[in-house]
């Protein structure tokens, strides 16, 4: 059976966690393929909110398998905290949670290196979540990393020591003020490693291959968003993994010709947390309203998210790179009450009108060109069917479908699992 993908099309936080949870009932296996605890995926059901960082968003469903794939980077300390929270909710994860032996491990010194690197950059900092993501992927591609399978080996602590010592020298080289007590950090780290070791480690590419042969259905869950992709995002203000469809191939061992549906998820407006260009960003009352009504604060760091109008130039680019077959629009309810909505349909780029994302989208090069649309004033949050939607919302959806040439098959009108309209 083909593997379906669910990916964020903007700068992350589109609502992937919610929709994976909604779609899980249709699948046997939910698999995360990249990123790590920089992600914060929020699920709301039965009046309770849950935030997952590394664990796939299918974990609350019984009889489903949740796999942390080889492309993910795992911080055992954060992972343990996630497991503790699941235990509080009586979620029996021991049977259902599998971890790839090829996933890389975030060491305490990776986090410190992240902090030192950001501090050394001053104003030019990336705005990293400081979870050690960049340094861990650097060690992966530099062929120095420690993988989950390594911690099953007798001599892995020697390898750990060598790497951590090298990291300490690198931290000193940055010559910035990063305070730490490595002994304390290591004590927590090694305790958490023991918890991690009590879970089931597998050769996940083989597992997924056999599952496909048995006819099991698989949903690959992305983290971050396409504009944070290491190759196609707004470099250098990106994360350190391929967040796009190709990342699911390398992060799980799925062959490209085995990919089925590609669900692309976007907010009805745009948000970004951290530094970097954002052509449609608003600094006025409209942006403030989006942030307040949309409760736009990072699920991992609590930082306020920057808000702006929907950018179809960037969205079209993300759809192309991912081969999106179905679109999912989130948070339409947040736009209720705006008299007029703006949608960016082209850029003025150094005097020319362009419809693609150029190499450089910094403010001095790019000015968004907007189409104005009538807003809606109805409360969408109680709606369960497309027929209940106000006409201006339908017009907004149809306009996007026409511009992007892809159907919007799901419309989310609130954070709860139930606040979801299937079209
Ligand atoms: P993810 O990282 O893509 O999983 O998204 P986050 O969980 O970081 O951020 C999405 C936020 O929007 C969360 O607080 C969700 O509970 C919330 N949310 C998701 N869908 C909707 C929606 O349709 N309407 C509203 N108002 N909130 C939503
Ligand atoms: P989810 O999966 C939004 C951003 C950070 C920073 C940049 C690099 O919840 O959508 P990193 O810690 O990866 O070195 O940070 O990427 N970022 C995210 N923004 N949602 C995320 O994940 C993000 N993960 C990283 O804010 O700008
Ligand atoms: Mg998030």
Q: Which residue has its alpha carbon closest to ligand 1 atom 17?
A: 415
Three-class DSSP category at 103? coil
Q: Check: CB of residue 32 under 8 Å from CB of residue 221.
A: yes
Q: Which helix (H) or strand (E) holds 213?
A: helix 204-213
As a whole number of angstroms, the distance between CA 400 and CA 357 comes to 17
User: How many Cα atoms occupy the beta-carbon half-sphere of 232 within 13 Å?
Assistant: 24
- Average pLDDT estimate for 315-331: 98
As a whole number of angstroms, the distance between CA 55 and CA 21 comes to 12
Catalytic site residues?
13, 41
Q: Check: CB of residue 208 under 8 Å from CB of residue 67.
A: yes
Task: Considering every ligand atom shown, identify the ligand nearest to the alpha carbon of residue 17 and give its number.
Answer: 1
Q: Say if pTM beats, i.e. exceeds, 0.95.
A: yes
Residue 182: is its pLDDT beyond 90?
A: yes
How distant is the alpha carbon of residue 215 from its chain centre? 27
Other C-beta atoms closer than 10 Å to the C-beta of 239 total: 27
Q: At what angle do helices 156-174 and 182-197 cross, to 10 degrees?
A: 140
pLDDT in tens, 335-370: 999 999 999 999 999 999 999 999 989 888 899 999
pLDDT in tens, 149-176: 999 999 999 999 999 999 999 999 999 9
Residue 243: is its pLDDT beyond 90?
A: yes
Q: What is the pLDDT of residue 332?
A: 97
Q: What is the pLDDT of residue 363?
A: 83
Output the CA 268–ligand 3 centroid distance in Å.
16
Q: What is the pLDDT of residue 300?
A: 86
Which of 15, 264, 293, 410 best tests ligand 1's pocket when mutated (most atoms within 8 Å of CB)?
A: 15
Output the CA 42–ligand 2 centroid distance in Å.
14
Quick one: pLDDT band at residue 299, thresholds 50, 70, 90? confident
Task: Considering every ligand atom shown, identify the ligand nearest to the alpha carbon of residue 12 and give its number.
Answer: 2
- Average pLDDT estimate for 212-224: 98
Residue 73 Cβ < 6 Å to ligand 2: no
Residue 292: is its pLDDT beyond 90?
A: yes
Residue 151 Cβ < 6 Å to ligand 2: no
**Does the N-terminal peptide bond of residue 236 adopt cis geometry, omega within 30 degrees of 0?**
yes
Which two three-digit tokens encode residue 268?
């009805």
Q: Please report the sign of the dihedral spanned by the C-alpha atoms of residue 271, residue 276, residue 280, residue 283.
A: positive
pLDDT in tens, 49-74: 999 999 999 999 999 999 999 999 99
Average pLDDT, the chain: 97
List, in order, residues 6 or more apart from 91 with CB less than 8 Å away.
Answer: 59, 60
């Amino acid at each position: 059976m083909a593997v379906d993908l669910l990916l964020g099309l903007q700068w992350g936080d589109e609502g992937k966690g919610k929709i994976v949870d909604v779609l899980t009932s249709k699948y046997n296996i939910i698999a995360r393929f990249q990123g790590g605890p920089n992600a914060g995926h929020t699920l709301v059901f039965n009046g309770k909110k849950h935030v997952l960082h590394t664990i796939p968003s299918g974990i609350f469903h019984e009889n489903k398998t949740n796999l942390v794939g080889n492309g993910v980077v795992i911080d055992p300390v954060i992972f343990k905290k996630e497991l503790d929270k699941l235990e509080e909710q009586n979620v029996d994860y021991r049977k259902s949670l599998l971890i790839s032996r090829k996933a890389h491990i975030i060491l305490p010194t990776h986090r410190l290196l992240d902090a030192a690197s950001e501090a050394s950059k001053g104003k030019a900092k990336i705005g990293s979540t400081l979870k050690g993501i960049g340094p861990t992927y650097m060690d992966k591609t530099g062929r120095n990393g420690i993988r989950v399978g390594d911690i099953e080996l007798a001599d892995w602590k020697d390898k750990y020591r060598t790497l951590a010592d090298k990291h300490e020298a690198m931290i000193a080289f940055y010559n910035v003020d990063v305070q730490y007590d490595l002994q304390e950090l290591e004590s927590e780290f090694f305790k958490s490693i023991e918890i991690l070791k009590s879970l089931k480690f597998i050769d996940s590419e083989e597992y997924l291959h056999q599952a496909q042969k048995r006819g099991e259905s698989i949903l690959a869950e992305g983290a971050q968003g396409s504009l944070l992709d290491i190759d196609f995002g707004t470099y250098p203000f990106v994360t350190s993994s391929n967040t796009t469809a190709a990342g699911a191939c390398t992060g799980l061992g799925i062959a490209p010709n085995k990919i089925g549906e590609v669900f692309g998820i976007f907010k009805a407006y745009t948000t970004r947390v951290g530094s970097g260009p954002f052509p449609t960003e608003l600094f006025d009352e409209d942006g403030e309203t989006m942030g307040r009504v949309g409760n736009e604060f990072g699920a991992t760091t609590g930082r306020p998210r920057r808000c702006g109008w929907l950018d179809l130039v960037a969205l079209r680019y993300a759809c192309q790179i991912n081969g999106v077959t179905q679109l999912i629009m989130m948070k339409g309810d947040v736009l209720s009450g705006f008299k007029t909505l703006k949608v960016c349909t082209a850029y003025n780029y150094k005097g020319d009108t362009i419809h693609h994302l150029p190499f450089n989208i910094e403010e001095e090069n790019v000015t968004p060109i907007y189409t104005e649309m009538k807003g809606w004033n109805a409360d969408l949050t109680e709606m369960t069917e497309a027929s209940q939607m106000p006409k201006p919302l339908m017009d907004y959806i149809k306009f996007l479908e026409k511009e992007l040439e892809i159907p919007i098959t799901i419309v989310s009108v609130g954070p709860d699992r139930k606040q979801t309209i299937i079209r």
